[in-house]
Structures are given as structure tokens and as C-alpha cells.
């Protein structure tokens, strides 16, 4: 990053190695002119060109090996003709990495229409038994475990957290008074415990696993304050604590409890809680086709849908049991709040209602739908029924709008789901890969910055180089490398390498710093250095994590 305060050029070229800008400043003040360092000789420029070309070529060859870009095959929807037609009408296939969709009539749940498309990992085609992250769809298993236990008298919906955890001192009495029903309907006042602000968002985006550093739910509940208890505020922390409360009530760890109560009775053998990462043959998460990210692994939040995996066949088996009224905890589908009061305006669909875990919504041209969606940073899932038909959607790319797709497939005339009206991400990708690198190269070739016309010095060589590398890594980590040629990223690295080569030639020929106010120049340099190192480290770490 370039200091905006710098106004002076390097010292007299007759003393290129002094590193002391004072005499140069004096000469400028007396003459009113801006002396320039001697231009780099042809040999240095040819060396820079050669180094840049070699680095660009090496980066082009390296790019396909990086984890964020698995080979993307042409996506075609395959399966039952009627469902293929409807999915094709509603969904833009360019958003699909891998997809499985099922639909059936509730009066004939054994007659299932299927559509599959894309790949789990860039090569393995999606099948009806491919494991996907379930995301928050797993919340309905937690809620039905609660309903099943309440039906057996093992707990009750009005049991409070204070009664269940008598040894826990809650910082906010509202949490001690919150009931299991409050937790199951998102009315207990729990906020998200994800780190907020730009730094928190940067860390989550770098790692991909948003719950990597989340503290255990009971610990979080004991030390935080409630926000609008009695109103609807969707919370993974609240649902994770619900799972812990049910485990406390039963004396059985949550993973064993949900399996005993719901999964095993329905034969959902492929639905699991695991911190081991993507199962064999599983569909790993992608922010968009080809852009791989880390799956979520914090099993403390399994009751909310973190570190949970299932197959389309399992979810169809589950929805069929609901259609036949044979699933444990069927009382969870009974409405609790016909219409909720939202704690945060516009955070949920207008007219939303809730059952235990399940969401209720009057969908135009369909009627009331009972549903739940799920999503990690790179997975979208959905289960829904309108009482006549049921739909299951599982996708391993975040760009697939699973709820919108399911609602369209329950209607008679599916319409195209609107996409982003402006292709912003490719433009950002070009910017992060090329613009900082070009500004760095302009600095060393012109001996001054391109925009602010600040003179070349060693601080600027270091800060702009690290800044260009950090922005390049940001583009590599979050860029649109499906819609943008890989050569763009490689060219950015090549430009940086060429600039560093020229900058190395100038290193002993320019002062350490040449700002008008040295203290301000040095301060801005330090801040720029910290920013670039932090951004570059986070992006590099995120790439390494996704690679693992």
C-alpha cells in the first residue's frame, strides 16, 4: 500500500547508496525539481520480463492442482423426464456443482421421481446415495427427538434451561427461564455466536468452516446476553444447546440419542454426525462450481446441523415416513406459532410460522408448506411438503437456491429462479488479481506511484509488493475461477515477479523512505504491512485448509 503523504523524490543520484534522503530533500527544496533515479538498464528489464514470463507459465501449470478448482464437467440434468423438465425450467445449471432432487406424491411415497446432475468432487458423478452435508435440515431430527421424548414423558416442552442445568449460572436470567419449546422454535433470544465485524467475516471466509472456533453451546449460553426473547431469532447456538439439553435429560450423548430416537427407527443408516470431514464418495462443499471450501466439523453444534451428513435416499425415506405419519416425534409438525414476530426485520419470509423445528409458510400457487432448509458455506439442502407432494433437494454448491427450487417444484408451473443481475464476482476477480500487481509494476518502472505520483523508496517497494501478493491470494481464494480464465491469476503473479525483479535492481539506488513527513510515512507503512500480512496469511491458510 502506498503512503498518501509522501511528496519527495529520492536523494541525488550521485549518492545512490547512502540510504539517507535528507540531502535529496535539500536539493529538491533549492531547485524546485524532482530528480529521478537512473532508469534500469535493458538487461534488468529483460531479466524482469523473463522472470515474469516464467512465473506466469508456472502459475498456469499449478492452477489446476489447487483445491478451489476441481475440474468441472458439463452439467446435465438426468432422471425422470417430468422432473428434469421442471428442474431445467427453474434452475440455472451453471450454478450446479452437484445436485440431487427427489419428488413424490404423498399418497404414493414409493413412486419417487429423481434428478441428478454434476459431480461430488469434479469427477465422481452424483447419485441418489451420495453423501451431502445436511446443514440445518438436521434441526428437524433434533426437534422430533424432543417431541418423541416429550411424548414418552422423559421431558416436557416447558422445562427450562435453569431446571435442566441447575449448576450453571447464566449471565442473563432470560436464558435460565427459556424453555425447550422456546429453543425449538427460535424464541429463546439466542444470537449467533460467530465472530462479528470485518475481521470475523474475513476469518470465516478464509477458513470456510464458520464454526471452527465456536465455543461449546452451554458455555456460550452462560456468558452471553439474550436478544429479544419471545421473538423469532434464528440461532444455531440455540439449537445446539437444545441438543445438549436433551442429552442431559436422557443421560445419553446427543449423537446416540438422535440415532436411537429418530434415525435408527427410520433406517437412516447413511445419516451421520462426523468430524472426520467429507465421507468416502461424499459431495464436498463448493461456494460455486469448482470453488472448493472446507466442510464444517464442529460436532458440538451437530444438533443444529454442523458436521452432519446424509444422502438423498435417506431424506426421501424420512419424508416418506412423514407422509405416512409413521415417523417418531410426529407432534413436532404441529404449529406452535402460526405467524412469528421477527426480532430482526426482513430476516425471514413474510408470514413465517413455526412448529417444533419445522417452518410453515404460505407459498403462492402452492399453499401452506412445511419445510426446513440447510446450508453451510458451500452446501444447500431442503426438505418440504405441502401435504400432497414432498420434495428433497441436496446440492454441494452455495449458488443453488434450494428453498426457492423446492417451492417451484411443488407448484404446477415452475419458473426460473432469479439470479444475480450483475456479474460482480468476475469483475472483482480481475481487480484483485491484476490491479494491485499493475500498480506495483508501474511504481518500479516510473520510479513513482501511478495515481498519487509519490516517489520510489524501499518502504514502497516492500509495502506494495506484499499488498499485491495479499490481494492476489484473496482473488485466488474467493475469485470466480469458473467464469474467469486461470491465466488472469497467473498473469497477476507474473506482473508481481517482474516488478520485484526491477525493484531488486533499484533497492540500493533509492532511499529507505522519501515521504514529506517521515513519521506518517513509517506509520502508514507499518499499518499497510500488518494488513497485507494478515490478509495474505488468512487467505493462504484458507487455501491450505480447503486443500486438506
d(CA 447, CA 469): 20
Nearest one of 52, 34, 166 to 448, comparing CA atoms: 34
User: From residue 459, how far is each of 422, 432, 507 by CA, in Å?
Assistant: 38, 22, 10
Residues 6+ apart with CB under 8 A from 387: 106, 367, 368, 370
User: Locate cell 517482474: which residue?
Assistant: 498
- Report how far residue 476's alpha carbon sits from residue 304's, in angstroms, rounded to the nearest whole number: 31
Q: Is 509 left (phi over 0), alpha (psi -120 to 50) or beta?
A: alpha
Determine how many CB atoms are found less than 10 A away from the CB of residue 190.
Answer: 28
Least-confidence region, from 35-49, 140-154, 283-297, 338-352: 35-49
Rounded-to-integer distance, Cα 392 and Cα 381, Å = 8
Q: Map grid coordinates 444447500 to a residue.
A: 380
Residue 547, pLDDT score: 64
| Interatomic CA distance for residues 400 and 285, integer angstroms | 12
Model confidence pLDDT, tens digit, residues 307-361: 999 999 999 999 999 999 999 999 999 999 999 999 888 889 999 999 999 999 9
* CA–CA dist 400, 283 (Å, integer): 14
Confidence of residue 38 (pLDDT cuts 50, 70, 90): confident
User: Using CA atoms, how far apart are residues 350 and 238, in angstroms rounded to an integer?
Assistant: 22
**Which element (helix H / strand E) includes 393?**
strand 389-395
Identify how many contiguous H helices and E strands the chain contains and give both numbers. Answer: 17, 13
**Mean local confidence (pLDDT), 58-80:** 77
Look at the block and give the residue holding cell 423445528.
357
- Distance (Å, rounded) from C-alpha 475 to C-alpha 98? 24
Q: Where are the domains of the chain?
A: 22-68+422-547, 93-410
> Of 55-59, 206-210, 490-494, which range is least confident?
206-210
- In this prediction, residue 73 has a pLDDT band, given cuts at 50, 70 and 90, of low
Spacing of C-alpha 84 from chain mean position = 29
DSSP state of 255: H
All three cell numbers of 416, joined, read 426460473
The three three-digit cell numbers of residue 19, written as one number:
540510504
Would you put residue 251 in left (φ > 0), alpha (ψ -120 to 50) or beta? left
pLDDT tens per residue, range 391-428: 999 999 988 999 999 999 999 999 999 865 445 567 88
- What CA–CA distance (Å, rounded) separates 500 from 507? 10
Positive or negative, the Cα torsion across 38, 42, 43, 44? Answer: positive
Per-residue pLDDT tens over the stretch 156-186: 999 999 999 999 999 999 999 999 999 999 9
Q: Are 180 and 242 in contact (CB under 8 A)?
A: yes
CA distance 145 to 164: 16
CATH number of 93-410: 3.40.710.10
Reported pTM: 0.78
Amino acid at each position: 500500500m502506498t503512503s498518501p503523504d509522501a511528496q519527495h523524490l529520492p536523494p541525488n543520484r550521485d549518492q545512490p547508496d547512502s540510504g539517507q534522503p535528507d540531502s535529496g530533500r535539500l536539493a529538491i527544496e533549492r531547485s524546485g525539481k524532482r530528480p529521478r533515479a537512473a532508469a534500469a538498464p535493458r538487461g534488468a528489464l529483460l531479466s524482469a520480463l523473463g522472470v515474469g514470463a516464467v512465473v506466469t507459465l508456472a502459475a498456469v501449470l499449478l492452477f489446476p492442482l489447487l483445491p478451489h478448482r476441481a475440474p468441472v464437467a458439463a452439467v446435465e440434468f438426468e432422471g425422470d423426464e417430468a422432473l428434469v423438465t421442471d428442474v431445467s425450467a427453474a434452475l440455472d445449471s451453471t450454478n450446479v456443482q452437484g445436485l440431487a432432487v427427489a419428488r413424490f406424491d404423498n399418497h404414493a411415497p414409493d413412486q419417487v421421481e429423481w434428478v441428478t446432475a454434476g459431480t461430488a468432487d469434479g469427477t465422481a458423478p452424483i447419485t441418489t446415495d451420495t453423501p451431502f452435508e445436511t446443514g440445518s435440515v438436521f434441526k428437524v431430527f433434533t426437534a422430533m427427538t424432543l417431541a418423541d421424548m416429550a411424548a414418552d414423558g422423559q421431558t416436557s416442552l416447558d422445562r427450562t434451561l435453569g431446571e435442566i442445568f441447575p449448576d450453571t449460572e447464566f449471565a442473563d436470567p432470560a436464558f435460565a427461564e427459556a424453555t425447550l419449546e422456546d429453543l425449538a422454535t427460535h424464541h429463546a433470544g439466542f444470537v449467533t455466536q460467530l465472530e462479528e465485524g470485518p475481521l470475523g467475516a474475513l476469518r470465516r471466509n478464509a477458513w470456510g468452516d464458520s464454526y471452527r472456533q465456536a465455543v461449546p453451546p452451554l458455555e456460550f449460553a452462560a456468558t452471553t446476553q439474550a436478544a429479544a426473547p419471545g421473538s423469532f431469532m434464528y440461532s444455531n447456538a440455540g439449537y445446539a444447546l437444545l441438543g445438549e439439553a436433551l442429552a442431559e435429560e436422557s443421560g445419553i450423548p446427543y449423537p446416540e440419542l438422535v440415532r436411537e430416537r429418530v434415525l435408527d427407527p427410520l433406517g437412516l443408516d447413511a445419516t451421520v454426525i462426523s468430524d472426520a470431514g467429507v465421507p468416502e464418495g461424499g459431495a464436498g462443499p463448493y461456494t460455486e462450481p469448482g470453488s472448493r471450501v472446507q466442510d464444517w466439523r464442529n460436532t458440538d453444534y451437530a444438533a443444529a446441523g454442523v458436521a452432519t451428513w446424509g444422502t438423498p435416499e435417506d431424506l426421501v425415506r424420512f419424508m416418506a415416513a412423514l407422509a405416512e405419519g409413521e415417523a417418531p416425534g410426529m407432534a413436532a409438525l404441529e404449529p406452535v406459532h402460526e405467524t412469528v414476530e421477527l426480532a430482526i426485520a426482513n430476516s425471514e419470509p413474510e408470514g413465517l410460522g413455526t412448529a417444533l423445528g419445522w417452518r410453515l409458510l404460505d407459498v403462492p400457487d402452492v399453499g401452506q408448506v412445511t419445510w426446513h432448509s440447510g446450508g453451510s458455506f458451500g452446501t444447500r439442502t431442503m426438505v418440504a411438503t405441502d401435504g400432497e407432494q414432498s420434495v428433497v433437494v441436496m446440492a454441494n454448491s452455495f449458488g443453488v437456491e434450494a428453498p426457492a427450487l423446492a417451492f417451484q417444484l411443488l407448484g404446477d408451473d415452475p419458473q426460473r429462479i432469479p439470479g444475480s443481475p450483475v456479474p460482480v464476482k468476475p469483475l472483482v476477480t480481475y481487480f484483485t488479481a491484476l490491479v494491485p500487481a499493475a500498480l506495483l509494476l508501474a511504481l518500479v518502472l516510473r520510479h513513482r506511484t501511478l495515481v498519487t505520483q509519490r516517489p520510489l523508496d524501499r518502504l514502497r517497494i516492500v509495502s506494495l509488493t506484499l499488498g499485491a501478493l495479499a490481494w492476489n491470494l484473496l482473488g485466488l481464494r474467493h475469485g470466480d475461477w469458473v467464469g474467469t480464465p486461470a491465466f488472469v491469476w497467473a498473469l497477476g503473479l507474473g506482473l508481481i515477479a517482474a516488478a520485484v525483479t526491477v525493484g531488486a535492481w533499484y533497492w540500493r539506488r533509492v532511499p529507505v523512505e522519501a515521504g514529506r513527513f517521515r513519521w506518517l510515512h513509517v506509520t502508514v507503512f507499518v499499518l499497510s504491512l500488518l494488513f497485507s500480512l494478515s490478509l495474505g496469511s488468512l487467505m493462504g491458510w484458507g487455501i491450505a485448509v480447503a486443500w486438506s
